[in-house]
């Protein structure tokens, strides 16, 4: 990584990753609704149509099942399509193509074919987009074998992980938090691909382990700084990828701290917190000083009204309060 840095947004980092990978490999193409002329619904592909032309940056009809299926076919014939779904909720519109086809083709062909397909899509609440445009679908995606699931937390992570996703020969679901797109970060001039399956300990601590995904990493760091003023030293782990899952980093941290909080913006029921808690229990049970904690969205549809929406979204203050309860 270059030591020189500049301040750019999360959205710009994604656009840079797309640009650099399209320049590196002519087989990388971009498909989706409004990705060309408008530069993407969240401005993550600005300028790419002018640079690479309509054969490599393709605006599609409003037919997720259709253009995801087309992307799968392109991947099977040697291209590396990057598909943008405008909201992660729309994964359900193309669910058969993604979970019954793309996820299973490598297995059912005995490894004779590859499916180098990336599907990028926003998750998260906070824009008052109502119940059908605010969900976080990463736990659902992780349920199906054959798909890698990525949840970048910052601009640097988004850029490095997207490069890895595009170069992977397996289908990758790449979840970007919509409330992060305009957030600014210091990003090196050169960002190398970040390996999948290796979590990042973004803050070391000795009193409690906080495992977080996507925007909850930033919120957990904010909570940890506040907790430090109260004498509580929290370790924060950025999961980076849910599939593959870096359980070893979590286990080593919990052996040190004796306490674990998992925070993710998806629904609590059958969520990432449940899976990680169950997955690591056989290794950390006797190291735990207390039951594993979760902080997620409650099991209700996301409201349209901001007055109802914001109180249920996991926040830095909620992470702080959840940890404080443990030490009272």
Instruction: Please check whether residue 57 is in contact with residue 3, taking contact to mean a CB–CB distance below 8 angstroms.
Output: no
The answer to whether residue 282 is catalytic is no
Q: Is 150 left (phi over 0), alpha (psi -120 to 50) or beta?
A: beta
Q: Cα–Cα distance between 51 and 23 in angstroms, integer?
A: 10
Q: What angle do CA 314, 317, 318 make, to 5 degrees?
A: 45
The helix (H) or strand (E) run that includes residue 81 is strand 80-84
Nearest-angstrom CA–CA distance, 141 and 243? 9
Both structure tokens of 216: 């909850």
The residue from 133, 157, 177, 235 that is catalytic is 133
Active-site residue, 143 included: no
Of the candidates 64, 157, 176, 265, the residue annotated as catalytic is 64
How far is Cα 211 from Cα 217, in angstroms, rounded to an integer? Answer: 8
Give the span between the Cα atoms of 8 and 182, in whole angstroms. 9
Active site residues: 64, 133
């Amino acid at each position: 990584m270059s030591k020189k840095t500049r301040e750019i947004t999360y959205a710009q980092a994604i656009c840079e990753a797309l640009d650099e990978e399209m320049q590196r490999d002519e087989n990388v193409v971009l498909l989706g609704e409004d990705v060309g002329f408008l530069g993407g619904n969240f401005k993550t592909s600005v300028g790419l149509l002018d640079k690479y032309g309509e054969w490599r940056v393709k605006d599609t009809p409003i037919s997720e099942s259709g253009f995801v299926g087309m992307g799968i076919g392109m991947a099977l014939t040697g291209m590396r399509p990057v598909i943008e779904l405008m909201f992660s909720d729309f994964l359900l519109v193309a669910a058969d193509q993604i979970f019954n086809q793309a996820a299973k083709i490598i297995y059912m062909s005995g490894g004779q074919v590859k499916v180098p397909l990336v599907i990028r899509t926003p998750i998260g609440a906070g824009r008052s987009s109502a119940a059908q445009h605010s969900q976080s679908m990463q736990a659902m995606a992780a349920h199906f074998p054959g798909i890698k699931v990525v949840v970048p937390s910052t601009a640097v992570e988004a850029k490095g992980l997207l490069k890895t996703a595009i170069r992977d020969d397996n289908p990758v679901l790449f979840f970007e938090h919509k409330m992060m797109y305009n957030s600014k970060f210091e990003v090196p001039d050169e960002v190398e691909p970040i390996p999948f399956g290796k979590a990042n300990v973004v803050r070391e601590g000795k009193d409690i382990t906080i495992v977080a995904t996507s925007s909850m990493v930033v919120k957990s760091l904010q909570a940890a700084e506040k907790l430090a003023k109260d004498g509580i030293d929290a370790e924060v782990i950025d999961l980076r990828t849910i599939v593959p899952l870096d359980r070893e980093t979590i286990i080593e941290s919990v052996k040190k701290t004796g306490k674990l909080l998992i925070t993710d913006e998806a629904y609590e029921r059958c969520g990432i917190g449940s899976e990680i808690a169950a997955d690591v229990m056989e290794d950390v049970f006797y190291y735990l000083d207390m039951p594993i904690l979760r902080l997620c969205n409650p099991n209700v549809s996301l409201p349209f009204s901001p007055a109802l929406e914001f109180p249920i979204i996991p926040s830095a203050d909620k992470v702080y309060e959840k940890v404080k309860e443990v030490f009272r």
